[in-house]
C-alpha cells in the first residue's frame, strides 16, 4: 500500500524509561547516530494498520509503518540509490517494505535488506506509543 506524506515535524519529548520489549537487534545499534532521545513524530490516527507514511525528524526522513497493530520506523531512503521507501509497497505479510525504484526490500524490524539490489541495511529507530502519540528514538534505546 502506498503512503501519504503527513508533513509532521517532530518535537522533543522526555518519555521516561524504555521497556525491554522495545530493544532492537544488536546489529542495528551502530547504524543510527541521530536522535539523542525520544521525539514525538506522529499520531496513531495518522497511520492505520497496514499503511505507512514518512515524517521529518530532526532533519531526517523516517518511514513509519503499522503492521499487525505494531509500529516500525526505518530511514526513508533506500540504501541502494536513495529511493523514497514511503513511495514503495508495504509488504505487511513479511513485515517488509519494497523500494519503488528497483524493488529492493527491507525488513521493518531490523532494517536489513531482504532482496537485492540493496545490500546495506537502513537505519532503524526505536518506537514507543504513548497515548495517541508515536515517539521515535535511537535504535537500541
Q: How far is the CB of 71 from ligand FES (least distance, A)?
A: 22
Q: How far is the CB of 81 from ligand FES (least distance, A)?
A: 4
Footprint of ligand FES (CB under 6 A)? 78, 80-83, 99, 101-102, 104, 117-118
**For ligand FES, the closer CB: 32 or 79:** 79
d(CA 114, CA 39): 29
- By DSSP bridging, strand 105-107 and strand 124-130 are unpaired
Q: How far is the CB of 113 from ligand FES (least distance, A)?
A: 9
d(CA 122, CA 56): 16
- By DSSP bridging, strand 52-57 and strand 89-91 are unpaired
Q: How far is the CB of 84 from ligand FES (least distance, A)?
A: 9
**For ligand FES, the closer CB: 117 or 140:** 117
**For ligand FES, the closer CB: 113 or 138:** 113
Sheet of 60-67, strand order: 11-12, 39-43, 133-138, 124-130, 70-75, 60-67, 52-57
Amino acid at each position: 500500500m502506498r503512503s501519504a506524506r503527513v508533513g509532521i515535524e517532530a518535537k522533543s519529548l522526555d518519555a521516561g524509561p524504555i521497556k525491554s520489549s522495545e530493544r532492537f537487534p544488536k546489529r542495528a545499534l551502530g547504524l543510527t547516530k541521530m536522535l539523542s532521545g525520544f521525539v514525538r513524530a506522529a499520531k496513531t490516527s495518522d497511520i492505520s494498520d497496514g499503511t505507512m507514511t514518512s515524517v521529518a525528524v530532526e532533519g531526517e526522513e523516517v518511514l513509519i509503518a503499522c503492521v499487525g497493530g505494531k509500529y516500525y520506523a526505518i530511514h526513508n531512503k533506500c540504501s541502494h540509490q536513495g529511493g523514497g521507501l514511503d513511495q514503495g509497497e508495504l509488504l505487511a505479510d513479511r513485515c517488509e517494505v519494497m523500494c519503488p525504484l528497483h524493488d529492493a526490500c527491507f525488513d521493518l524490524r531490523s532494517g536489513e535488506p531482504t532482496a537485492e539490489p540493496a545490500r546495506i541495511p537502513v537505519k532503524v529507530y526505536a518506537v514507543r506509543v504513548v497515548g495517541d502519540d508515536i515517539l521515535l528514538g535511537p535504535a537500541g534505546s
